A and B are shown apart, each in its own frame.
Chain A
Amino acid sequence: MAAFLTQSLCRRDDAKLLSDVGSEIRLVACSVTSARTSSLRNVELVSNIVNGLPPDVHVLLLVSDRSAFAKSAKNRRVTFVEMPPKSDISIWPQDPFVVVQGGAVTKLVTPCSFNREDDERMPRQLAGLLQLELVHSELHFEGGNIVCGEDAVFIGFDTIHHNALLLELSAGEVTQRFAKLFGRRVVVVGESRQSVRHIDLIVTPLSHQRIAVADSRAGAGLAAEAIRQEPALVREFERQCEKDFFGQDGVVELLDRDGNTISRPTVVGQTDATIASSLRLAPELETIARQLSQAGYKVVRVPALIPNQEQHLDEQGDMLPQYPFLSYSNVLTELRQNQSTVYLPQYGFGMLDNAAQRVWQEMGFLVKPLAGFSTSAMYGGAMRCCTKVLLRD
């Protein structure tokens, strides 16, 4: 009786951040935007994600403009979740909340504030549909700067630093608060201000104390090799990025809802500059790899080609579109039928796409490549940014 009581009373404390490592994915959320409301349309990408995930994964599609969309036919595993009228949402459901589970209880935890479009409404809509408890935290965070392993949660340096400033706490105190909120030990990633805004673009926790860290030096090397060996294919990739940006080759400029002009970024001829940016960023990633290695993790490096992260921010500090961020760390992983599986974004840059597949295969993963991420990558996001895991079996 005493044991039952203790266990039951302590259940609240058992709640833990849903891990990025582990059993089969059962439920995810994506968001889809229409051509008439958004410059970043993603219907094709969402179709690729739904079809690329196993058939028993249910997909909740957050949508602010339902009448714009038609789906092929009734499909059991896709449910539209309509946002309140006139909501303006991004394609990144990863950021405005995190999922905490304790036993059979699932809660959505939102940050103290979240100021990107109307994305803070996403967790409310999901919690309403799924009848989940919504917990409003005092802490400031974005889901993309938090990744979770088997034994610890990894949080980017900027999130800790930002909270310390706003809440007038020491970094240690902020870390403790996150540890309490997420029910897990916290590892702070990085030792200084982040160049890459979200660590899920560069850090992937794996099973058995392993962790993958992006290697932009390797990515730069591969891109340089591609320019030497197959320059026409590189140029074709660059052209395709520009062509796909607005979905029509002839469209180079559009107005957003507020009447601001959005211009198609120049990608053609920019691979060389991106190689240089990647090389400049490499020491920071090497520091992170060393730091995690010293913390007891076996670090594996995954190639990445990373464009300039400093000169492409708008007034709100959000990324402006530019040469795509080719991240092969921004993935979903799961253990499915005893086989580690990775859902790996592909961008159409053959040399890098193929090399990333090989690296993940060498780590023992069954690779499920998902095409069509070049446009979302021009805004700096890929598979994990687009797909929020809500439940694993």
Chain B
Amino acid sequence: MKTKQIFFNAATICMVSLAVLMTQAMFDGSANAGPRAGESKGGNLKQRVVDLEDRQDENDNEFFLIDRSFGDLDSRVNANDGRLVVHSAEIRALEARVKVAEKRISVQRADHRDIVSKVAKMRARPCGS
């Protein structure tokens, strides 16, 4: 009787294991996908393409795609032009600053020359005079 029960239990375990393996095998690839009921993720791509086409009932032979933003190229060119104007103004301002700096440098050079000549004169003056 005991042997019979052990055999029965073993057979039950085998059947359950087999069922688990078969279930795993049948749903391979969908374990962590979380698809909607009845849809195995990754499967039957052909059917999905058919579904996509069915949603669009009309069918033109020729396909034309138009870029309505093409006119925006002009605004981008204008933006470029605007940038050019800003840059030109910046360059003009920079040129003015350079001129001021050059003027300051020439004044400082003149001062420097003046000091040098004064120092030279002081050195040339006899001591005690």
**Residues of chain A at the chain B interface (Cβ within 8 Å):** 4-5, 8-9, 11-12, 26-27, 32, 34-37, 41, 43-44, 46-47, 50-51, 55, 58, 61, 65, 67-79, 102, 104-107, 130-133, 246-248, 251, 253-255, 261, 390-391, 393
Contacts and interface: CB of A to CB of B under 8 A. Distances in A.
B41 A47 contact: no
Contacts, number: 151
A9 to B, nearest CB: 5
A107 B62 contact: no
Interface stretch (B7-15, B47-55, B91-99, B120-128): B47-55
A12 B29 CA distance: 7
* 5 pairs of A and B residues whose beta carbons are closest in the complex: A8-B25, A36-B72, A72-B64, A74-B58, A36-B69
A253 B80 contact: yes
A73 B80 CA distance: 35
Interface range on chain B: under 10, 10 to 19, 20 to 34, or 35 or more?
35 or more
B79 A255 contact: yes
A256 to B, nearest CB: 9
Interface string B63-96: 1111111111101110110010000000000000
B63 A72 contact: yes
A19 B63 CA distance: 28
Interface of B: 21-22, 24-26, 28-29, 33, 35, 39-46, 48-49, 52-53, 56-73, 75-77, 79-80, 83
11 contacts: A5-B21, A9-B28, A41-B67, A50-B65, A55-B61, A67-B68, A71-B64, A73-B60, A104-B44, A248-B73, A391-B46
A244 B76 CA distance: 17
Contacts of B53: 58, 76-77
A76 B61 CA distance: 9
Contacts of A132: 41-42, 45
A8 B68 contact: no
A133 B49 contact: no
Contacts of A55: 61
B93 to A, nearest CB: 20
A55 B60 CA distance: 10
Given A35-B73, A36-B76, A43 B66 contact: yes
Contacts of B56: 74-76, 79
A11 B29 contact: yes
A27 B48 CA distance: 10
A36 B75 CA distance: 9
Contact of A51 (B25, B44, B62): B62
A180 to B, nearest CB: 17
Contacts of A104: 43-45
Given A26-B49, A132-B41, A68 B59 contact: no
A75 B70 CA distance: 22
A69 B80 contact: no
A78 B64 CA distance: 11
A131 B39 contact: yes
Given A41-B70, A105-B43, A78 B29 contact: no
Contacts of A47: 63-65
